[in-house]
Structure 1
Amino acid sequence: MKQLLLLCLLLSAPLFGQPYSLFETPNYHDHLIELAWGQQVWLKEQPQGKMQLFHLNGQPVFKQAFDQIWPSNFKGYLELQDGDKFYIGSLEGELWPLARTIEELGAEIKAVDFSAKSLGPVDYREISFLLGLPSALLQQTQLVFLKIDLDNSRLHREIKYLKNLKVLNLEGGSLRHLPKEIQALSQLEELDLGANDFYRVPKELALLPQLHTLYLDFLPIDSLGETVSALSQLKRLSWKDRISNDLAPLLDLKALNALDLELQGFEEHNIYALYEDSLGLTILEKFDQLEYLNLAGNFDNLKSVDFLAPLKNLRYLNLARAAIEQLPKSKKLWPKIEQLLLEEVSLKELPLAAKKWKKLYRFNNQSYTEENKSFFLISRLPKKIKFLILNGLSIKHEELLLLQKFKQLQVLSLSRVAIQQLPESFDQLKKLQELDLSHCQLTELPNNIGQLQQLKAINLTRNKLQSLPPSFYTLSQLQALFLNENQFKKLAPQLGHLKQLSQLELSNNQLKELPKQLEECKKLKILQVSDNQLKTIPLNFAHFKDLEQLLLYKNQLEEIPNSLFEAKKLRLVDLSSNPKIQFLSPKIKQLQQLKAVYLHDCGLQKLPDGICDLKKLHTLDLKANKLLELPSCMGQLQSLTQLMLSHNRLKYLPNSIGQLQKLNSLYLEDNQLQTLTPSIAQLKNLNSLDLDNNPNIKEIPLSFKKLTKLYYIGLYNCGLSEEEQDYWENLLENRDY
C-alpha cells in the first residue's frame, strides 16, 4: 500500500501491507512480507519467541526484536532511528485500552490510525476540532503518520497543527476539497487521496514541497492535468482503476521512478473504455527512468508489450492478466529486472534475454483457469532466482527435473500443477524455506524429502497422501505443516519430532485419533483437525502453553477434554458440529484470552455462569443447540459484538442483555420467545436483529425506536399484526444511515 513507513503492532484488520507467503495464515512462521512498491523483508523468529525483520541481504531492518509482529499489518519506516517508539492501532483494536485517552499518549507516539473507527461528519455541537477527533490529537505535534477516513467533504483547516506529518492517509472517505492550510505540512512526503470524491486533482498539492508519493486510486478524475505536471519532486504515483489513459502530463516528471496503473475492475464501465484505448499506454516507452511499473489488468485486446522494451531501468514489472503470449524479443531486455509478475499470462516461452536476468529473484506465472494453462521453459530462468511461483501451469516432466539447478531457491510454489510424483532431485534445493505442493495429485513424497533441512513451511493440501516418509520427520526447522484434504487415517507418532511446529492443519482427512506424541510439539499456536472422525482427544492441552487457535468442528466428539481449559492463551475455539457435546464446563472462565467461541450444532442444554467471565469475548456462536435459557450474568460480556442464538428453545432473554454495549448483531430466529426484554433498547450499537420464526412474539417494544443504528430486523413468521410489521420495516427503510 505505501512506502516503508511504520511498523504496526496491530491485531485488528489488515491495513498496511500484504504478506507475500504461500499460505493463508502465515503469522507463525518465517516468511517474506510484501511491502509497497515491490519491496520485501523477511520476518524471522528469534530466540525466546521474539520476531525480527531482515532485508533480503540478511541485514536487520531494526536492531531490536519485537514480541509480536503481525505481518498483515506491517509497515516499516527505515528512516526512523533505531529505538524510536511508536504506536498504531484502531480505536477498536485491542492494543488501544478502552480507558486510555489521547491525552495520555506521550511524545513517543509517532503514528495513529483511526481508519477502523467509523467517523461521521464533524458535530460542532460537541467538538469543533480536526475531523471530528478529540482536540487533544492536535497537541500530538510529534505525529509523523495519520490514517483516517472521513465522511466530510472537506479536510478541516486545523490539520495545519500537525506540522511534523510525513504521511497522511485519507483513503476511503468523502473528500472533495483540500484546504489551503495544508501547506503548513511542509514535511509531508506521502499523501493518499484514494477512494474519495475528488473530480479533479487538488491544486493545493503544489503547496507541499516534500511530497514524493501520491495515491489517486479509484477517483473519478479524467485528467491529471497541470497540477500533477508541476509536482517535479514526485517519485511515486499510484492511479489504480483510473478512467483515462492520458499519461502525457507525467512526461514532465523526471524524478518519477514508480508508477502503479493497475486495473482491478471495480468500475467496469470505465474499465471497458480503457481496454478500447489500450494503445494509449504506448506512451510509456518514453518513461525510461521507471524502476517500478504495475500494469496488472490493463490488457485485453493488446497482444504485444513491445513498447515496454526500452525501459532499461525496470526492476519490478507486473503484467498480470495480459492477453499476450510472448515478451519483447530485445536482446537487452530489462537488464536490471528483479521481479517479474505474469499471473494469468499464457506465455509460450521466455525470450532468450531471460538468461541474462542476473538480478531476477522473483518470478510469478501462476494460472487459475483451465483455459490459461501454458507450457513453460524453465530452462531460460536464471539460476540464482529465489522466489518462483508457477501455480496452475502445465509443466513437462523434463522441465520439472530442471528445478534442481535453482540452488538459491527460498520459495517455490507449484500449486495446481499435475505433478503426481516429485523427482528425487528435489533434495538439491537445500535453501528452500517455503514449498507449496497443494492440489498436485501427489500420492507420496520422495524418501529424501528430509534433505530440505531449511524448510520452514510446506503446504500439501488436497493431495492423495496417506502417509509421510520417515525422513520427513527430520525436518527440524519446520514451523507450518498443511495436510488438509488428504487421505490420512492415522498419524505417525514421529510427528512429535517436529518440535518447531507452530501451525498444524489436518482438516478433511479420515483421522480417528491423534498420537499422544503430538504433545511434544509444545510451540503449537494453531491446531486444525476439523472434519475428521475423532471421538476423543487424548492430548493433555496443558503442554500447549502457546496454543491460540483450536479448531475441531465436524468430528464425533462426545465431550470437551478437561485439560483444554489449561491452554490459557487460547483466543479461538471451534467445536461446532459435534452433536454429542452436551456439557460446557464452568472451567471455561479460565480461558481469559478467548475472543471467539463457536459451538453451533452441538447438544448444549445449558451454559455455565463461568462463560460470563470472558471479558475479551467478541463472538459467541451457539446456533442449533437445545438451550432453554441463558445465564443471568450475560451482560458481563462487555466486549461481545456478535451473539448467535438461532435454532434453540429460548423463551426469554435475561434483562442483563441490555448491558452488552458493543453488541451489533443478535440472532434469535427459530426460538420459542414469548416476549422481548425492553433492555434490548439499550443496545446502542445494534445494527442487526433477527427474530424470524418466533410466533409467540406479539409486539415489539416502542422503545426499540431508540436503536438508531439498527438497519435490519427479521420479523418473518412472528405473531405481529401486519400493520405493526409494516411499521417497523418502513421505519428502518426510511432511516438515513
Structure 2
Amino acid sequence: MNPVYDFIQRNRVLAKIEKAQRSKARNLALDDFDLTGFPNILFKCCDLFSLNLGHNNIMDLPNDIIQLKNLRHLSLDYNSLDKFPMALKQLSHLVTLNISHNPIKELTKDIGCFVTLETLWCNACCLTTLPEELGTLIKLEAFGARHNKISKLPDGICNLKNLRWLTLEDNNLHNVPQNFDKLQSLVHVNFNKNNFNFIPLRMSKIKTLRYLHLQNNEFFTLPDTTIFAMPHTKINLQHNPLQLEDNKIYSNVIVTGTENEILDLLGNDSDSSSDNWDNSLNSSDLNYSDTESESEDEEILTDIPRLSKFLVTF
C-alpha cells in the first residue's frame, strides 16, 4: 500500500473514532478503511449502540471488545475472519450480528450464548452445517445463510418460534426437518437454488407463511396436493424443469411471467419488511450508522494536521 494513502486511511479512522468518543455517539461506521486491527481508542467509545466494520481486512477480534458494553448491532461482513471470533461471546447482549462474506467454516456451538439475538446473517461464508445450538436463539426473527454449502438443517432450528424471515438460497438442501411446522411465525422463506423436487407437506401447516421462493430447484411436476393446501402462500417456482399442463391454473403459484407480473403476485400485498427482504437477495449489508457526509470526509482529506492527535499505527 502507498505509505501516504496508508497514513491518511489510518488517521481518518482515528479522527472518526475521536469524534465519536467526544460526542458520545451511539453509531459509528468504519467500513472500507483497510483495517487489520483495532485502535485502542475504539474501546473507549462505551456509548456505542451500533458499529459497522464491514469491508476491511480484520482477521480476529480482541478480548477488549467487551468494553463496548452498550453495543447491540455489529456488522463484520466482508472481512478475513476464518473462524467465528470467540471474543464475540463477551457481547452476548447483541441484537444484530452480521458475519457474512468471511471464510468462516463453521458456527461455534457457543452460538447459543447470544440469547438476545434477533437477526443473524452468515451469508457467503464456507458453512457446510449449522449447529443444533442455533435452536436456542429463541428471540431470533431473521436468519440468513445463503451462498453456503449446507445440505441439511439441524432439528434445533424448529425451536425458533419467533423466526419470521429465513433465507437459505444457494445451498444443497432438499428437505426440511420433521418438525418444521413448529415455526408458526414464519412469513418469508427463500429456498432458491437448492435441490428441492417437492414441497414438504409439513410446510403447508405453517399458516403464517406468505412467501415461498423455490426458483432454480429440481421440480419436474407441480406438487398439486401441497399447493392446494397452501392457498395463503405465494409460491415462486420459476426456472425449474417443469412439464406443465395447459389446463392447470394456480392463483398462488408463479411458474412463468414477466418481472411486473411477479411483483404483482409477490409484492403488492406484502408489508414493507417483506419488500425490503425481496430486494436484499444479493446482499446482507446492514447499516445502522449515521454516517458523515462526503463534505466532511473531503475536509479531513484536505486538512492532514487535523486528522488525529494520535499519529500511531495499529
Global fold match (TM > 0.5): yes
Q: What is the aligned partner in structure 2 of residue 667 from structure 1? A: 256
- More helix per residue: 1 or 2? 2
Deviation string 1:585-604 (CA, Å, 9 cap, x unpaired) is: 22222111112111111112
Kept in 2: contact 1:592–1:615 (CA 8 A): no
Distance in 1 (alpha carbons) for counterparts of 2:134 and 2:261: 42
Q: How does 1:647-666 map to 2 (within 5 A)?
A: 648-654=242-248, 657=250, 660=251
Q: What is the aligned partner in structure 1 of residue 88 from structure 2? A: 472
Distance apart, 1:396 and its partner CA: 4.5
Q: 1:394 to 1:469 in 2, by over 3 A?
A: closer
2:162 counterpart (546, 561, 582): 546
Distance apart, 1:668 and its partner CA: 5.8
Give the match's secondary structure for 2:123.
coil
Would you say 1:622 and 2:211 are equivalent positions? no
Q: TM-score, normalised by structure 1?
A: 0.33
Would you say 1:602 and 2:191 are equivalent positions? no
Q: What is the aligned partner in structure 1 of residue 208 from structure 2? A: 593
Give the match's secondary structure for 1:540.
helix
Alignment RMSD (CA, Å): 3.0
Distance in 1 (alpha carbons) for counterparts of 2:23 and 2:44: 7
> Which amino acid in structure 1 is aligned with residue 155 of structure 2?
L
Distance in 2 (alpha carbons) for counterparts of 1:426 and 1:468: 21
Q: How does 1:231-270 map to 2 (within 5 A)?
A: none
Q: How does 1:183-332 map to 2 (within 5 A)?
A: none
Distance apart, 1:404 and its partner CA: 7.6
Q: Radius of gyration: which is bigger?
A: 1
Distance in 2 (alpha carbons) for counterparts of 1:426 and 1:394: 13
Give the match's secondary structure for 1:667.
coil
Distance apart, 1:495 and its partner CA: 1.4
Give the match's secondary structure for 1:588.
helix
Distance in 1 (alpha carbons) for counterparts of 2:117 and 2:172: 26
Deviation string 1:584-623 (CA, Å, 9 cap, x unpaired) is: 2222221111121111111123415233333432x42112
Q: How does 1:123-134 map to 2 (within 5 A)?
A: none
Distance apart, 1:397 and its partner CA: 6.3
Q: What is the aligned partner in structure 2 of residue 504 from structure 1? A: 120
Q: How does 1:369-448 map to 2 (within 5 A)?
A: 395-396=11-12, 399=15, 402=18, 405-406=21-22, 408-448=24-64
Unmatched segments (≥5 aa) in structure 2: 263-314
Deviation string 1:530-564 (CA, Å, 9 cap, x unpaired) is: 11111111132331111011111111123222222
Give the match's secondary structure for 1:620.
strand
> Which amino acid in structure 2 is aligned with residue 419 of structure 1?
L
Distance in 1 (alpha carbons) for counterparts of 2:140 and 2:50: 18
Distance in 1 (alpha carbons) for counterparts of 2:107 and 2:132: 10
Kept in 2: contact 1:407–1:429 (CA 8 A): no
Kept in 2: contact 1:445–1:468 (CA 8 A): no
Deviation string 1:687-720 (CA, Å, 9 cap, x unpaired) is: 759xxxxxxxxxxxxxxxxxxxxxxxxxxxxxxx
Distance in 1 (alpha carbons) for counterparts of 2:261 and 2:14: 58
Q: 1:401 to 1:575 in 2, by over 3 A?
A: closer
Q: 1:474 to 1:594 in 2, by over 3 A?
A: same
> Which amino acid in structure 2 is aligned with residue 534 of structure 1?
I
Q: 1:603 to 1:414 in 2, by over 3 A?
A: same
Q: How does 1:625-644 map to 2 (within 5 A)?
A: 625-626=240-241
Kept in 2: contact 1:572–1:594 (CA 8 A): yes
Deviation string 1:32-55 (CA, Å, 9 cap, x unpaired) is: xxxxxxxxxxxxxxxxxxxxxxxx
Kept in 2: contact 1:525–1:549 (CA 8 A): yes
Q: 1:398 to 1:542 in 2, by over 3 A?
A: closer
Distance apart, 1:416 and its partner CA: 1.5
* Higher relative contact order structure (alpha carbons within 8 Å, sequence separation ≥ 6): 2
Kept in 2: contact 1:489–1:512 (CA 8 A): yes
Q: 1:539 to 1:426 in 2, by over 3 A?
A: farther
Kept in 2: contact 1:666–1:688 (CA 8 A): no
Distance apart, 1:523 and its partner CA: 0.6
Give the match's secondary structure for 2:179.
helix
Distance apart, 1:666 and its partner CA: 6.7
Distance in 1 (alpha carbons) for counterparts of 2:155 and 2:11: 43
Kept in 2: contact 1:407–1:428 (CA 8 A): no
Q: What is the aligned partner in structure 2 of residue 367 from structure 1? A: none
Kept in 1: contact 2:239–2:255 (CA 8 A): no
Kept in 2: contact 1:603–1:625 (CA 8 A): yes
Q: TM-score, normalised by structure 2?
A: 0.73
Distance apart, 1:527 and its partner CA: 0.6
Distance in 2 (alpha carbons) for counterparts of 1:374 and 1:448: 25
Kept in 1: contact 2:20–2:28 (CA 8 A): no
Distance in 1 (alpha carbons) for counterparts of 2:58 and 2:21: 22
Distance apart, 1:454 and its partner CA: 1.1
Distance in 2 (alpha carbons) for counterparts of 1:599 and 1:512: 20
Q: 1:394 to 1:653 in 2, by over 3 A?
A: farther
Distance in 1 (alpha carbons) for counterparts of 2:13 and 2:207: 53
1:583 counterpart (195, 198, 201): 198
Give the match's secondary structure for 2:239.
coil
Unmatched segments (≥5 aa) in structure 1: 1-372, 377-392, 627-647, 670-686, 690-737
> Which amino acid in structure 2 is aligned with residue 649 of structure 1?
Q
1:520 counterpart (121, 136, 140): 136
Kept in 2: contact 1:474–1:497 (CA 8 A): no
Q: How does 1:76-155 map to 2 (within 5 A)?
A: none
Distance in 2 (alpha carbons) for counterparts of 1:588 and 1:439: 37
Kept in 2: contact 1:548–1:569 (CA 8 A): yes
Would you say 1:492 and 2:108 are equivalent positions? yes
Distance apart, 1:429 and its partner CA: 1.5
> Which amino acid in structure 1 is aligned with residue 246 of structure 2?
Y
Kept in 2: contact 1:423–1:446 (CA 8 A): no
Q: What is the aligned partner in structure 1 of residue 70 from structure 2? A: 454
Q: 1:463 to 1:506 in 2, by over 3 A?
A: same
Distance in 1 (alpha carbons) for counterparts of 2:133 and 2:228: 34
Distance in 2 (alpha carbons) for counterparts of 1:507 and 1:452: 25
Q: 1:405 to 1:624 in 2, by over 3 A?
A: closer
Distance in 2 (alpha carbons) for counterparts of 1:539 and 1:479: 23
Distance apart, 1:469 and its partner CA: 3.7
Deviation string 1:109-147 (CA, Å, 9 cap, x unpaired) is: xxxxxxxxxxxxxxxxxxxxxxxxxxxxxxxxxxxxxxx
Distance apart, 1:402 and its partner CA: 3.9
Q: 1:398 to 1:572 in 2, by over 3 A?
A: closer
Distance in 2 (alpha carbons) for counterparts of 1:420 and 1:556: 33
Give the match's secondary structure for 1:466.
coil
Kept in 1: contact 2:136–2:156 (CA 8 A): no
Q: 1:653 to 1:427 in 2, by over 3 A?
A: farther
Deviation string 1:492-518 (CA, Å, 9 cap, x unpaired) is: 111110001110000101011112111
1:533 counterpart (145, 149, 157): 149
Q: How many residues align?
A: 257
